[in-house]
Amino acid sequence: MGRVVGLLILAVMVGIVAGLHWYVWRRLVRDSTVAGSIGRRAGTGVIVVGGLFMVGTPATRIDMVPFGVVRVISTVGYLWAAVLIYLLLGVLAGEVLRPLLVWWASRRKGGSDAGAVLTTTAASTRGTGTTATTGTAAATGPTEATGTTEKTGTDAEATAPNAATDTAGAGETTAQATPQEVVGNGPAAAESAGSQAVSRRMFVSRALAGATAVAAVATVGAGTYGVLKGPAVNRVTVPLRRLPAEASGFRITLVSDLHLGPSLGRGFARTVVDTINRTQPDLIAIAGDLVDGSVADLREHVAPLADLRAPHGVFFCMGNHEYYSGPDEWIEYLPNLGIRVLFNERAELPWFDIAGVDDLAAEAYDRAPDFDAALGGRDTSKPCVLLAHQPSLIHDAVDHGVDLQLSGHTHGGQLFPANFFAALANPTLAGLERYGDTQLYVTRGAGAWGPPVRVGAPSDITVIELVPDN
């Protein structure tokens, strides 16, 4: 039964993804190109290939697929997923702009046509002289009824026997015929007007499609560059009660959410390690979500973490992605890199305690954040700094007398407009806030989950300088 439900959920998800791709294709490709054209084929190919990579990203996360293949497919699939997000946003914005632009274009075109009609009519009415026209001129039409023309009676009879009754002056003939010639009211004129309307719609569709594609690719490109160049360094001063004066200026460099895995590997890890070491920290705190993958796949990519340097140590608490990646093997392996895992436990420093609790995702393994195990029996005359991956644990931290909680998890929303949803799901999205006697600092994280892209939520590490609270 469970397998059937899983397959149904998978089918629904694939259907949703396919539907979104079809909608983007319809608006950006079909509506802006001609059937069989190079543009139609190229646009269709990009969307189909991108969709296949996107669907293939989770499909490759099985043991039999080499990790090198997983990295290639996942990187392309994740990047396309980010592009798709902004293509969808652009298309939705286009649904509002499209009728307004078509109306504006038709209004402008209509005004131009009316001006042309009036100008042509006025010029024709003035003429070039008085014309005495007999049968031939009247029968031939207004295009010959300009200037001074004289025809003999014989010519009139040979050309049109009834011409005498149809003869009119050139000025009157031209003034009546020219507007019909310019504007028209027959099938050809209707076809021309319809063609102009179609042309306007095609122009607007192409303009919107081009602007949407350029904006989406530029946004994702800039967001990718922002991640790969490495996190910015934020600095914040945090006063702590009961912190002794000799500990004033103690620096904790906080980093979280590297997400080393298919998209971000060894090179990125090296960039982050070098950035952290340049801050000359007294202590390094890693607030979870370090990896996205198994030890076997990521051993090489996490190796630079062994070069982290801080005189009072490197401490780590579990995040939800460690539980998606195999928690026990990482708890066992990280000490080989000089990283101490605070698994519902604490370390006592001369001036304060630093503790760490398990993540909420541990419940799937019959585990849980255990504040009593981590904080029970400690010397309460000293401040306590707590590592907890998810900010939502702040209320438990308040109840247990924690002075400062350090968290990550939110990514600051990572991809606009997800920041609005992340803010609803977390007590603090990013930065420093106070809850009773407990302060909470949330970093946006150094890396990115899924697409190696950030928009509106730049990556960071934070140097927290502790000072006594007087």
Class of residue 125 by CB neighbours under 10 A (exposed 0-12, middle 13-18, buried 19+): middle
- Mean pLDDT is lowest, of 27-41, 176-190, 379-393, 426-440, for 176-190
The answer, yes or no, to whether residue 376 has pLDDT greater than 80, is yes
Average pLDDT of the segment spanning 312-338? 95
Choice between 207 and 171, residue whose per-residue pLDDT is larger: 207
Q: Residues 335-371: pLDDT tens digits?
A: 999 999 999 999 999 999 999 999 999 988 889 999 9
Neighbours of 127 (CB within 10 A): 19
Give me the chain's average pLDDT, please: 84
Average pLDDT of 131-138?
Answer: 38
Q: Which long-range contacts (CB under 8 A, 24 or more apart) does 416-425 make?
A: 416/455, 416/456, 416/457, 417/89, 417/456, 419/456, 419/457
Which residues does 370 contact at the CB level (< 8 Å), separation at least 6? Answer: 344, 357, 358
What percent of the chain has a predicted confidence (pLDDT) above 90?
69
Is the pLDDT assigned to residue 200 strictly greater than 90? no
Higher pLDDT, 119 or 93: 93
Q: Which of 3-7, 34-38, 118-122 has the lowest mean pLDDT?
A: 118-122
Q: Which of 226, 239, 278 is nearest to 255 (CA)?
A: 278
3-state secondary structure 421-450: HHHHHCCCCCEEEEECCEEEEECCCCCCCC
Q: Which has the closest alpha carbon to 293: 340, 259, 255?
A: 259
> What residue has token string 């499209």?
98
DSSP labels for 256-324? ----BSSSS-HHHHHHHHHHHHHT--SEEEE-S--BSS-HHHHHHHHGGGGG---TT-EEE---HHHHH
Per-residue pLDDT of 201-253, as tens digits, reads 888 899 999 999 999 999 999 999 999 999 999 999 999 999 999 999 999 99
Half-sphere exposure of 166 (CA within 13 A, CB side): 17
**Chain centroid, CA 76 distance in Å:** 15
* Angle at CA of residue 297, ends 293 and 299, nearest 5°: 100
Q: Judge whether 441 and 431 are in contact, CB under 8 Å.
A: yes
Q: What is the pLDDT of residues 284-316, one digit of tens each?
A: 999 999 999 999 999 999 999 999 999 999 999
pLDDT band at 82 (very low <50, low <70, confident <90, very high): very high
Which residue matches tokens 């006063």?
Answer: 239
In the chain, how long is the greatest CA-to-CA distance? 129
Q: What are phi and psi of 254, to 5 degrees?
A: -100, 130
The Cα–Cα gap between 161 and 352 comes to 119
- Residues 136-161 have pLDDT tens digits of 333 343 333 344 334 434 343 333 34
For the beta carbon of residue 3, count every other beta carbon within 10 angstroms.
7
**Strand arrangement, sheet containing 345-348:** 345-348, 353-356, 384-387, 404-407, 438-442, 431-435
Phi, psi of 236 (to 5 degrees): -145, 140
pLDDT score of 109: 60
pTM equals 0.80
Q: Which two tokens stand for residue 21?
A: 């791709």
How does residue 5 score in pLDDT terms, banded at 50, 70 and 90? confident
Picking from 83, 364, 34, 55, the residue whose alpha carbon sits closest to that of residue 202 is 34
Looking at residues 360-388, what average pLDDT do you find? Answer: 94
